[in-house]
Structure 1
Amino acid sequence: MTRTMHLTVDIYVDEHDGDTRAEARLHHPDGPLHTGHGTARCNPSDAEVAEIGDEVAISRALADLATQLLDAASGDIAAVTDKPVHLNQ
């Protein structure tokens, strides 16, 4: 079986008073929208560098999204095989 899909991930970042929040939205043409969330907080004694907070929050949002996708795949496999499944990253 040959199959091609095109998926997109939109990443939204919001920073306010040293706290950075990121949301990663995976748009899947055949299924539900998955959304991962990540945060970063600047230590008050550190210099504020927006790019670092962005990188940390985005990476955490993508990691959350990846975990959700693995959990969804585990559930799908378990439904097909009728056996418990746990996929690791």
Structure 2
Amino acid sequence: MKASVGDRVITVSGTVGTAAREGRVVEPRHLDGSPPFVVEWADTGERSVVFPGPDTVLEHDDGAPPVVPAAAPTAVPHTTWRIQVDVFEHGGHTHAQALLVAPGEDLGAGLDELRSVGQARRAPGDPDLPLVGDELAVGRALRRLASRLLGDAEQDIAHATGEHSHVHA
């Protein structure tokens, strides 16, 4: 989709009952007219940078037919990873176990699941706030899980490239 100054932009809302917006291109950001471009909206007079998506139509000022972006692919390859967290409380102590399951994926050492734990302990003088203990224990379990995943990624990169690697978190 290429735009020129004066081209009409129509963006249909993804929300039912919300009107479409119409505006004019006032500034292409690239010499070839490729997105993004600055649009002045007819309803408010405001200007904004527009990255057109599948809900945007561009009508050229020269009378050329409207340009409608190609539809996005309907099926994008993906894998679903699940995280389950179990929380156990007893006598001012909270334990959380996080389990990551990646069906069909090798998460290191031939595993398709990783486990990590986190703990929290209430000091004798602290108020009894179970939610705080849960948040701390779960946060620690998830942080350990994330650290392990990043460490595994570093090892996989090093193995694939033959060079030491460091992944920034």
TM-score (norm 1): 0.93
Alignment match, 2:132: 52
Cα distance in 2 for residues equivalent to 1:41 and 1:77? 37
Runs of 4 or more off by more than 3 Å in structure 1?
none
Alignment match, 1:7: 81
Unaligned runs of 5+ in 2: 1-75
Cα distance in 2 for residues equivalent to 1:88 and 1:71? 10
Unaligned runs of 5+ in 1: none
Q: What is the deviation of 1:3?
A: 3.4
Alignment match, 1:74: 154
Asked which structure has the greater RCO (Cα within 8 Å, sep 6+), the reply is 1
Q: Which residue identity is paired with 2:79?
A: M
| Number of residues of Structure 1 aligned to a counterpart in Structure 2 | 88
TM-score (norm 2): 0.50
Q: State the Cα RMSD in Å.
A: 1.1
